Structure 1
Amino acid sequence: MHVSDIVEYWARFRRDDATGQWTHPDDRAVLAGQHSFNFDYPTCPYLGPVTSAKVVILGANGGYSPTETPKEFPDAEAFERYLGRIRDPEGADWSNVSPYYDRVNYGPLVYRGDAAWINASPYRSPRISAERDNQRLVRSLPSSVFLRRWLLEAVVPLAARGERLVVVKRPGLWRLPPEVRTAPGVLVDPAPISPQLTSAPWNAVQGFLTGRGPAPAAQPPSPQDPPRRSRTAAVVSPVAARRTPRGTETVAAGTAQSQVAPLMRVCEALGLTLLTPDAAWPGYGKVVHLGGARSIYLNRTNADVRSSPSEVAAWQRAGLGTVRPNNDRYLRVML
């Protein structure tokens, strides 16, 4: 199997004329069984340039929220744009996929094309870790069987040659053989349900992309590995997936704190809440109080978050920012 086969397979994904549901033709008979997947909107088994991204992250399934998912598909153009990413992942713009990816530390890697996220099943649900029927169905879905075979036959050999790094977030759904979990170039995240890559795999990803990680001797390019566009390998904070150039997102003092976009991005990335979200934002460099006796100071190019030294250190290990060298109670997050 070739690494590009995944794109050819999912090019057949479309709305079922008979039911109006977004499903892959191979899955329709199995999907007649008991489950709670939502098929009202198209979904995708991958995010990012799946045939060329150097880091491959294995996730669970597409997410669904009855309030948020419809906002991602406000019109026919949004549907077509989404389907276009499935059909041409290498030529697609992945910088504005979903607000969810602004809140996770690997989001910027997907935006830049350094990483691709692959779901064990593309079909949407709120929380598959609590959905037994959906977990059971994934095991027998033809599309999931294909994805697993694609991983084992096309991607794992590339990882063994040092051409890919595979990070397994949801090993249970992928049902990987024990020898694959410990194979060269494959890492299993010890916190599978955490939305972030935890410290060990995150550090391995950074090392791999910057050439500091261990890798086998260089191999000739594989014929199944298409040419890759040049991309930067610099790793930035998850908040720094830019919608606006740094320093241009000016916010007026007096704006409600909950309406200050860079402030909210930092809070969402770290899982923090504003103590008084409707209060006026005091301005750059001024304290904003957070729940749990924490606080944040928003500057034009960064934010400093004050918390306990242990929590600040944990955030840094998760790749969410850096501890200020002169004060271990502050995490600096680049905007």
Structure 2
Amino acid sequence: MKPIIDKIKYSAFVLLFLPTITLGQRYDTIPQCASTGKYRFDLLLLCDSDGNIDYDNFGKINIIDKKKNYIHQTIDSVFIITAVGTTDNAIEIRDYNFDGYPDFRIVSFADMHGDNIDHDYYFYNPSTHKFSLISIGYRNTDGYWSNLTNGRFDPNNKKIYENIDYKAYSLSEVHNEYKWNGDSIELIKTDTIYFPPVKKLCCLLIDTTHIEEMYGQRFDDPWSAIFHSFPIKKKENAAIYLKLALNYSQNSSIYEYDPYYADENISEFIIQQIIKFFPKNKKVWVAYGDILYHKYLLTKDKYVLLDMEDAYQRYIELMTKRGKKRKIPPYIYNRIKEREILF
């Protein structure tokens, strides 16, 4: 009887350490059009219990030796997204590291607009005859890792190009140029291209509705392109920006988005940019004070009046130095007194 008991104990031990198998789990195979001279590829997509493909899930890649017709390598845990899961062109073949051997890549991320696409890259190792996942990217200015986006590879010049499309967010594109430095890429050149929403700055005085509709309160998005295309340091542009700031300040909707962030409205943002280039312009300081007073009337935040007084005092100081104190409008002194009463 003892041998039988030992067998039962051994069987229990084996069952305990067998890998977990999910019943009903199966994969749907999508043969890929792209292939190397030696290998072809099958994309295996996980299906649910009803046989429906779950595109936003992990799948597999089978790499098949074409001559011997057997699976040379299986790559597990490949994240398959909807953008590529339905096609037989999910895998792209090219010598991405310029070593003379074909590699492959597959889409790992696509933004909601489809403008920016990242890939997972699998490089061929001629020593092991296997493909390995390699992260292609760089450390940005904040120290965070960024994947290569919309990567284009130039084997003739051994350069890598990246065009990151921000037109849906900030009306710009970033163009980067890299070269291989060992197993990582090195940034050689970068440039930002801007696409302002208007051809002439004065057009914004006529209609800014389309900007507000597209970007809401995200004033830093379109304005980065506008300021770059129409430099504020030019006096003729600064005069138009000043009018824009005053126009925005009287629009109560700029405070309706989130009253807790009412200090971050378009009118103040514009006027602060003007002050950077023209700190001694009296018109800018009086306009800043007026903008802050309008903000107080709309938000009833009495602490705004403290900043208003600082702006008006700066205006009074400039007017006094130029011998024009008598020309200061009486309403400015009245608003300063109003502030003194509240505090």
Could you tell me the TM-score, scaled by structure 2's length?
0.23
Identify the structure with bigger relative contact order (alpha carbons < 8 Å, sequence gap 6+).
Answer: 1
Structure of higher CA gyration radius:
2
* Bigger strand fraction: 2
